[in-house]
C-alpha cells in the first residue's frame, strides 16, 4: 500500500503540473520515464535491463520491471544483469538456468532521498519544457494583436496577463505618450518580440509599433481583413500623427473611403485607441513622383526632382505651401519620408507664384497624357514649356499632334513676356 500511495502521489503531482502548464501527455510520460531511468542509472550503473511502464490515465499505474539472466548459485558476477537460480525460483519455481527472469522493482527500494531527487528533477525538467513551449508559442505570434489585463504597473514597464494566464511585459518605451494604465484595466497591444535571455522567455508588447496600427485597421475595416484592400506602407509618430498608404484590388472599392468610413466612423475608433493620433490615409501608387506628392498632402508641389539610386527627392513649392509640407514639429515631412522611403527636402520655388501644377489641366488634357510628363519629372506647366520639343517627344513618346495640343493649352495660360523670362544657359556670355 505504501508503494502504491507513493506512486500515486508522484503521478498526481505530475498530472496536475501537466494540466497547469499545458504540456501534452506524451511529453509528460517521456519526461517521467527519462527521469526514472536517470535515477536507475545512478543506482545500478545502467538502465539497460529495466523497463518503465507509465499510464497517466490511471492514477498510480506506475511500474518498473527488471530483466536478468538466471545463473547457478554462487556464479553471479553482474547483479544488474544476472540473478541466482535459487532467488529466481523463490518467485517462479518453474524457471531454469539460462532463462530470463523478470521481476518488479520495489519503488520503496529507491529510498526517500532518491524520490526527493526524482521530484526535483521532474519539476526542473517540466519547468524547462514549459518555458520552451511558452517561447515557441509566442515567437510564432509576433505581430499579433492581443488583449490583456493590467496586473501590475511600475515606473519603467507594465505587467499584463492574458486570458490563459500568460504574463507579458510592456516597457514604457513601447507605450504611447499619454498612456496611463490602472490595475485591472483591459489593454490592447501587439506582440512586438519575444526575448529568451538565459532561458527565461519574455513577451514584449507594443502600442507604438506600426504593426499595432495595421492590426487595428484590419479589425475595423472588413475589406482589409478580406484581402480586398492591402496596407502598403505605414508611418507613425506615436500619439501625434500617422500616414497610411493603401491599395485596392477591386476598382469598385475606394480604398481611402473604405478605411475612413462614412463620416470617419471607422477611423474614429482607431484614433481614440491611439490617444488622439491623427491618421492620414492615402492611395498607394507605383508612380514614385505621384506617391511622394500624395504623401506630402495637404501640401502641393510645383516640381519634384528624384535621385532614385540615393533615394532622395527635392520638392519645390510655392512659399505658402512649404509650412504645410513641413508640418508642426516637421511631422508631415518626417512621415512622408518614412512612408515613401525617400529622404525629402523642401525648397521654396521662386517662380512658383507664376507657375501652374499640371494636375490643374486635367479638364483639358487627358490624365494619362499628363502622367507621361510627370513620369519624366515635368510636374508644372513652365517645366514643360521650357523643354525643347524634341526632348519632350523623346521622353514622353507622345504623337506630335498630341504634344502640340498640350503645349498650346499650357502656353495659353501665360503671356509671351512670362515665357520669355528664361534663365541664361550656363557658359553663355553676352557679346561685346
Q: Per residue in 62-71, pLDDT tens? A: 788 889 999 9
pLDDT of residue 424: 40
pLDDT score of 430 more than 50: no
pLDDT of residue 119: 79
What are the beta bridge partners of residue 244?
234, 281
Give me 91's grid cell.
518467485
Share of the chain above pLDDT 70, in %: 87
pLDDT of residue 58: 56
* Whole-structure pTM value: 0.67
Reply yes or no: is the peptide bond before residue 96 cis, omega within 30 of 0.
no
The CA distances from residue 277 to 218, 268, 399, in Å, are: 17, 10, 48
Question: In the predicted model, what is the mean pLDDT of residues 336-344?
Answer: 95
341: left (phi over 0), alpha (psi -120 to 50) or beta: left
pLDDT of residue 6: 52
Give me 32's grid cell.
517521467
Fold of the CATH domain 2-136: N Utilization Substance Protein A; Chain:P; domain 4 (3.30.1480)
Q: Could you give the residue range(s) of every CATH 3.30.1480 domain in the chain? A: 2-136
pLDDT of residue 5: 53
pLDDT of residue 7: 52
pLDDT of residue 333: 94
Q: Per residue in 238-271, pLDDT tens? A: 999 999 999 998 889 999 999 999 988 999 999 9
Q: Per residue in 356-368, pLDDT tens? A: 778 778 878 888 9
Question: In the predicted model, what is the mean pLDDT of residues 324-345?
Answer: 93
286 DSSP 8-state letter = S
Q: Per residue in 295-318, pLDDT tens? A: 999 898 888 888 888 899 999 888
**Second CATH level (architecture) for the domain 143-208:** Beta Barrel (2.40)
pLDDT of residue 242: 96
53: which residues sit within 8 A by CB, 6+ positions away? 61, 62, 63, 64, 65
Please give the mean pLDDT across all residues of the chain. 84
CA–CA dist 202, 12 (Å, integer): 29
Q: Which residue has the cell 501640401?
A: 299
The CA distances from residue 340 to 106, 120, 291, 323, in Å, are: 73, 57, 7, 20
pLDDT of residue 403: 92
Q: Per residue in 134-162, pLDDT tens? A: 899 999 999 999 999 999 999 999 999 99
315: which residues sit within 8 A by CB, 6+ positions away? 292, 296, 301, 303, 304, 325, 344, 345, 346, 347
CA–CA dist 115, 39 (Å, integer): 9
pLDDT of residue 41: 82
pLDDT score of 324 more than 80: yes
Residue predicted with more confidence, 8 or 343: 343
CATH superfamily of 220-352: K homology (KH) domain (3.30.300.20)
Grade residue 234 by pLDDT with cuts at 50, 70 and 90.
Answer: very high
Closest CA to 349 of 376, 379, 374, 370: 379
Q: Determine contact, residues 274/238, Cβ cutoff 8 Å.
A: yes
Q: Per residue in 162-176, pLDDT tens? A: 998 999 999 999 999
pLDDT of residue 57: 64
**Count, residues in the chain:** 432
Q: Per residue in 23-48, pLDDT tens? A: 667 777 788 888 788 878 877 888 88
Grade residue 429 by pLDDT with cuts at 50, 70 and 90.
Answer: very low
54: left (phi over 0), alpha (psi -120 to 50) or beta: beta
Fold of the CATH domain 355-420: DNA polymerase; domain 1 (1.10.150)
Grade residue 14 by pLDDT with cuts at 50, 70 and 90.
Answer: low
182: which residues sit within 8 A by CB, 6+ positions away? 150, 153
The CA distances from residue 160 to 167, 386, 395, in Å, are: 6, 63, 59
pLDDT of residue 123: 79
Q: 11-20, 146-155, 419-428: lowest mean pLDDT where?
A: 419-428
Strands of 256-405 (E only): list them: 278-283, 301-307, 312-317, 343-348
Q: Could you give the residue range(s) of every CATH 1.10.150.20 domain in the chain? A: 355-420
Strands of 118-254 (E only): list them: 145-153, 157-161, 167-171, 186-197, 200-206, 229-237, 241-248
Grade residue 423 by pLDDT with cuts at 50, 70 and 90.
Answer: very low
Q: 116-125, 284-293, 351-360: lowest mean pLDDT where?
A: 351-360
What are the beta bridge partners of residue 144?
none
pLDDT of residue 322: 87
pLDDT of residue 125: 80
56: which residues sit within 8 A by CB, 6+ positions away? 11, 14, 15, 18, 25, 28, 29
What are the beta bridge partners of residue 231?
246
Q: Could you give the residue range(s) of every CATH 2.40.50.140 domain in the chain? A: 143-208
Amino acid at each position: 500500500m505504501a508503494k502504491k500511495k507513493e506512486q500515486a502521489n508522484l503521478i498526481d503531482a505530475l498530472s496536475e503540473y501537466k494540466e497547469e502548464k499545458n504540456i501534452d501527455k506524451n511529453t509528460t510520460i517521456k519526461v517521467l520515464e527519462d527521469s526514472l531511468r536517470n535515477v536507475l542509472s545512478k543506482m545500478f550503473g545502467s538502465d539497460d535491463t529495466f523497463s518503465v511502464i507509465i499510464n497517466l490515465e490511471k492514477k498510480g499505474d506506475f511500474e518498473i520491471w527488471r530483466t536478468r539472466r538466471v545463473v547457478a548459485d554462487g556464479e553471479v558476477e553482474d547483479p544488474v544483469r544476472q540473478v541466482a537460480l535459487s532467488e529466481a525460483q523463490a518467485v517462479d519455481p518453474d524457471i531454469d538456468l539460462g532463462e530470463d527472469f523478470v521481476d518488479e522493482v520495489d519503488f520503496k527500494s529507491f529510498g526517500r532521498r532518491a524520490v526527493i531527487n526524482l521530484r526535483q528533477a521532474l519539476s526542473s525538467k517540466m519547468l524547462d519544457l514549459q518555458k520552451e513551449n511558452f517561447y515557441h508559442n509566442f515567437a510564432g505570434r509576433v505581430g499579433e494583436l492581443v488583449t490583456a489585463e493590467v496586473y501590475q504597473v511600475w515606473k519603467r514597464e507594465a505587467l499584463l496577463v492574458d486570458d490563459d494566464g500568460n504574463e507579458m511585459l510592456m516597457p514604457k518605451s513601447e507605450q504611447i505618450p499619454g498612456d496611463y494604465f490602472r490595475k485591472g484595466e483591459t489593454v490592447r497591444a501587439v506582440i512586438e518580440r519575444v526575448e529568451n535571455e538565459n532561458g527565461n522567455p519574455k513577451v514584449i508588447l507594443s502600442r507604438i509599433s506600426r504593426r499595432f496600427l495595421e492590426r487595428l485597421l484590419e479589425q475595423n475595416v472588413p475589406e482589409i481583413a478580406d484581402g480586398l484592400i492591402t496596407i502598403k506602407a505605414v508611418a507613425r509618430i506615436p500619439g501625434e500623427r500617422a500616414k497610411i498608404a493603401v491599395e485596392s484590388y477591386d476598382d469598385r472599392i475606394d480604398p481611402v473611403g473604405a478605411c475612413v468610413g462614412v463620416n470617419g466612423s471607422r477611423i474614429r475608433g482607431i484614433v481614440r485607441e491611439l490617444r488622439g493620433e491623427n491618421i492620414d490615409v492615402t492611395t498607394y501608387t507605383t508612380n514614385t513622383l505621384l506617391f511622394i506628392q500624395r504623401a506630402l498632402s495637404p501640401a502641393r508641389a510645383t516640381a519634384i526632382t528624384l535621385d532614385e539610386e540615393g533615394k532622395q527627392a527635392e520638392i519645390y513649392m510655392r512659399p505658402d505651401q512649404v509650412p504645410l509640407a513641413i508640418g508642426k514639429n516637421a511631422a508631415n515631412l518626417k512621415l512622408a519620408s518614412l512612408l515613401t522611403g525617400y529622404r525629402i527636402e523642401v525648397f521654396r520655388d521662386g517662380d512658383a507664384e507664376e507657375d501652374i501644377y499640371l494636375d490643374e489641366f486635367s479638364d483639358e488634357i487627358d490624365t494619362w497624357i499628363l502622367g507621361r510628363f510627370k513620369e519624366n519629372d515635368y510636374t508644372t506647366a513652365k517645366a514643360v514649356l521650357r523643354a525643347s520639343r524634341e526632348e519632350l517627344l523623346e521622353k514622353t513618346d507622345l504623337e506630335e499632334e498630341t504634344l502640340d495640343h498640350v503645349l498650346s493649352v499650357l502656353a495659353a495660360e501665360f503671356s509671351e513676356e512670362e515665357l520669355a523670362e528664361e534663365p541664361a544657359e550656363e557658359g553663355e556670355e553676352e557679346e561685346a
